[in-house]
Each structure stands twice: as structure tokens, then as C-alpha cells.
Amino acid sequence: MIMPDQQKNSGLLRRRLIFADPERSVVRISRDGTRVAFRAPVDGVLNLWVAPIDRIDEVRPVTSVTDRNLGPWILWMHDNRHVVFFREAAGDENWRAWRIDLETGDVRPLTPAPGVTCRIQQISRHFPSELLITHNARDKRYFDIYRVKVATGESALVQLNEGFAGHFTDQQFRVRFAVRFTEDGDVEYLRLGSDGEQSLFSRIGAEDTMATQAIEFSADGRELYWLDSRGRDTAAVVAQDLESGTMRVLAEDPRADFTELRLDPITERPIAAARSFERVAWQVLDPDYQSDFDYLIRQSRGDLTITGMSQDRQHWIVAYQYDDVPLEYFHYDRAARQARRLFSSTPAWEGLPFVAMEPVIIRTRDGLELVCYLSRPRDPQPREPLPMVLLVHGGPWARDVWGLYADHPWRANRGYAVLSVNYRGSTGFGKAFVNAANLEWAGKMHDDLIDAVDWAVAQGIADPARVAIMGTSYGGYSALVGLTFTQEKFACAIDLCGVSNLVTFLNTIPEYWMTWKSLWKVRMGDYTSETGLRFLEERSPLNRADRIVRPLLIGQGANDVRVKASESEQIVAAMQQHGIPVTYVCYPDEGHGLGRTENRRSFKAVAEAFLAAHLGGRCEPVGDDFAGSTIEFKAGRELIPGLG
């Protein structure tokens, strides 16, 4: 016989299942099309695995790290012998490049450590065993360019960075432009002469910087390809003739920015581009590829992604994203016109009762259209207003997209409606939408979230007395804003790594963000003037901490370099000073977010119990979900029932 409490908790999707790392991710094809590399777990830690593409069951791990997952980037060299991967320590974002020799198994670093972070600058088929890497070993503020021989790890300085945000290089490993932000938030591409002289090549106004960037030169050096919003609202695919300077539009869409450009591996000319309003759509730019995309799009109801292509163009890795089943990877043999399924990202999710993610358009009080995504519990009975969780994405210059993301089905399974909102400032919807967020932190950006909640209430979806707001980074800031600027709108809030004071945040950003700090002046507020600083203080939740009347859960990584732990600590201290209860958990081995599975699972267990206490949803007992985690309760553990 099932007792009432058992009935309430029957059919729960276990956190240990839905918040595990994917079993296959970052799948990349070798340049010769014969092998694939991807991340997969070894004793619970994501390592690098390699398999023959036609015998995927012969897959084997080629690294054996034990501390934390490899980074989400894998790079096959054109020699088909070396694979480059990345590691950090305890969430510090000091990414170090490593390579493995697949013939010998030899693993060695390509960049210095500790305290140094790096980026891939350029790879080229002309230099199969070399690449350009930037890192900030010389000066933490600037990234110099080095030419690295991956076989030996030998490195030679190519370009000293003397105050720029970065450089732009070509397939011949030549440094073509220096890129800098002006004090007004504009971006300048400067030609670098052989004599060291600089001349302006292109200027991007501050209003266009979020959607405009140079992508690559054609192999013959005649054209430069851009994603470009200059002269229009949404970013188009644009080709610039380098001799005449003429710009021609290859693709544009009035509703959405083109955000991904797929290039031919030999000519380096665009073959297709992707944009997303509610869901991903492709536009083919090279007629030779039209039949390929037609075939691939017909194969699935999911959104298509191209993760890689062999150098001879004949072998591709493609993936399909869904909202109710896990991501699927396929090998596409172009000559045979056949897509063969390799595996799903998370086989353990196959067959689980996930719910749909429904795209909805919500109109704001001042007439903007917000692309949002709604998930609801499976319930064959007539729907009554539900408790709802408002999920706020980070960035803020990012966006939510359609797909299967664990927070949606998890919350829906616990009995909540779940709403993700692309508030103004979210990218991908044109520059007017982005620029509508300028100086609107805790202003109209927050109004958008309130309008979305009011829409859900008016539609009979959400119970107005049981709505939670939660998010990470900017989403965490929004959660704090929710409790301090609209004190009784939300029943409770969850903030992970959120900013509490805009001034202290700007004063503690990483040194290597300084080259583009003027961006924050345009978007957030003028930190260089007394008037601007007062404005930033007014928009800071910390200075309204005494107004908090709803329950708050705060999580933080101690090693966060973007939003320092002091941002969480100072609002916790302010609340305690005013006698306001708060629960605060910290992770000594994490940074901006939670990278280790054990830590992520433990925080979800705390969050689930917290929401159950204040919204009334179902809750899986904590059980052993703290096992292996470094979770530390700094305050308020006793405020959440069921944590033990």
C-alpha cells in the first residue's frame, strides 16, 4: 500500500540521474575524418576519449585526470596525431592548454602555469602541427600571441600585446589587426604595418559591438567575413572585399541575428549560417551544400548543429537538439548521403518522462516582444495555477534557447511551472533589443521579468503567491533585485554567484577584463563619474538589503574570478546585521558556477528543499547527495527543513 507521503514523492526523477555529467559531449571529428574525440567520464570525471568513426564501440580514454572535468573545448590538429584540450584548477578559470600524442600517449602542457589563462588564436591546414595561442603570463592584463609546436611544446612570441583587447590573425599566421575598445565603448580594428604603425581599418559603434565581429579571411585572402549589424538591426552575414572595401550581404533576417557561420574547410568561404528566434534555422549560402542541409534537416524534428567536418568535406559530425530526449550525435557520410547515429549525449535519460519546452512570446509594458520558454508538469487533469520558478539566465548578454536543459524537466517533475525569459539585453534578437537594456540594470530589465510573471499569472499558469526567482551570475543579481526592489513579488529567491553591489563588482573584475571595461560604462553605468557611481549604488541590491522580507538562498564558489565571493559575503553580512535570516552555502573548490558533479548535485538538493518549503512542490530526500561534495554552510542551514 502506498502511503500519502510516498504517493506525493512517487515518480520523482532522481537528482543523481538528471544532474550527472553527460556521457558524451564536445564531440569533434579528426581532420582526416577517421576518428572522433569527445569528453566522457572516467571514474566520474570527464576525460578525453577517442574512437574510430566506423567502430565507435572501440572507444578508449586517452587522459586520466582525477580532480575535475576537462574544459569544454577539444581541438584536433591537422596532423591527425595530436589533440589539444584544456584544464583549470578549482574553478579559477586559469585554463591551461595541453596536448596528447595519440601515437605515443605522451601528454604535455602547451602554456605556462599557475595563474595564467590562455585562448586559441588560430589553427591552419598550412601548419598541421602548429597553432597560435594567446596567454597572459607576461602581464595579467594582456594576451600575447605565441606560435606553438605541439609535438615539442616549443613556443615563440609572435605578437606582444601593448594594451589591446586582442588581435585578429589569418591562415598564414600573420597578425592582421589589433582590436581595442575606446573609452566610449566603440571597437576599433587597427591595421598593423610592418613598421609598427597602426591605421584604422574598421570601427564598430558601441550600439553594434554585441552583434558585430570579424570571423575569418577567405583562403585566397580576397574577402573578410563578418557577422555584422551595422546599418541594420539584426546581424547579417557580410563579405567584405579587401581590395575595394565593398560589403555585400550574404544572409539576413529581420527578427534574429545570425550567430553561427560554417566555413568550407578548404576555401574558408561561408557555406551556411544559423540564426535562432524561437528555434534554430539554417540558411545555406553555398549551393553545393544545399542538398546536404536539406537531407540533414529532414532526418530529425530536432534543431541541427554541425560540430565538425573533415578536411576533404566528406565526413561530418552533426547533432540534433530536442526538448524531451537527449542530444543525439550522427556521422554524416556526404558521398553516401547517409547519416548514421553514433550515440546520445546521455543514454541514461532515454525514455524518461521529460516535458516539452514551449516557446512563448510575451509583450512587455513598453511593447517589446520577449522570446520565452515554458515547461509545465505532466498532468492530464484540468490545470490549476501552479507554483512557478522564474529562471533568469546569466550574461546578461547571452540568451536562453530551446532544448533539454535539466532545470526545466527537474522543476516540472517537482510540480512547478518553469519560465525562462529572454529579457531586454539578451543577445540574438537585434541590436535595438540589446541596447534597450543600457543603464537598465534593476530597471526595465527587471520590469521585463515582472511582466513575464504577470503574463503567467494572467494566463492561469502561475499562482501569484508561489513564484520563485532564481539564476546564476546576472541571474543571481536579478534574484537579489527581485527581493530588494520588488520585495513582495516573489515568494523566495535563489542566487548563485550573483552581483550584490555594481561598484564593488566593477572594482574587482579580472585584470584581463580591463581592456574592455568601457563596455560596462555604456551598458551598466558610468563608473568614472560621481553621478554614475551614485546611479550604480542605487541599482545595487546590497544597499537595499534591509528591505528583504522573503526567504533567500545564496550559493558561491570561493575561487570565482568574475563575481568575487565578497559579493555574496557582503549581502549576507548586511542581512545578518539587520537580523534578516539567510541561507548561505560556499564551495572552496569552485569558481563562477559549480563544475564538479558532486557540488552541483548538493546545491540542487539544497535548492529543492528550499523551494519545497516555500512553494510547496515535491522534494526528493537529500539522502547521500552531499557525498563527495565540498559544500560548506556559512549561514542558515537550520532554515531549510530536511537537510539534516
Residues acting as catalytic residues = 473, 560, 592
Contact 610, 553 (CB under 8 A): yes
Task: Give, in order, the Cα–Cα distances in Å from 573 to each of 47, 487, 548, 562, 631.
Answer: 39, 19, 13, 20, 19
Contact 347, 353 (CB under 8 A): no
Q: Which residues pair with 76 in a beta bridge?
A: 83
Contact 523, 395 (CB under 8 A): no
As a whole number of angstroms, the distance between CA 622 and CA 643 comes to 7
Q: Which residue has the cell 572516467?
A: 42
CA-based nearest residue to 617, from 413, 456, 454, 470: 413
Sheet holding 280-284, edge to edge: 258-263, 270-276, 280-284
Contacts of 586 (CB under 8 A, 6+ apart): 555, 556, 557, 558, 565, 568, 631, 632, 634
As a whole number of angstroms, the distance between CA 85 and CA 121 comes to 14
CA-based nearest residue to 448, from 474, 425, 480, 476: 425
Residue 313 backbone dihedrals phi, psi, to 5 degrees: 75, 0
Task: Give, in order, the Cα–Cα distances in Å from 343 to each of 23, 496, 573.
Answer: 10, 33, 49
Kindly calculate the radius of gyration of the chain based on its CA atoms and give it in whole angstroms: 25
Residue type, 511: E
Segment (H or E) for 42: strand 35-42
Return the SS3 of 557.
strand
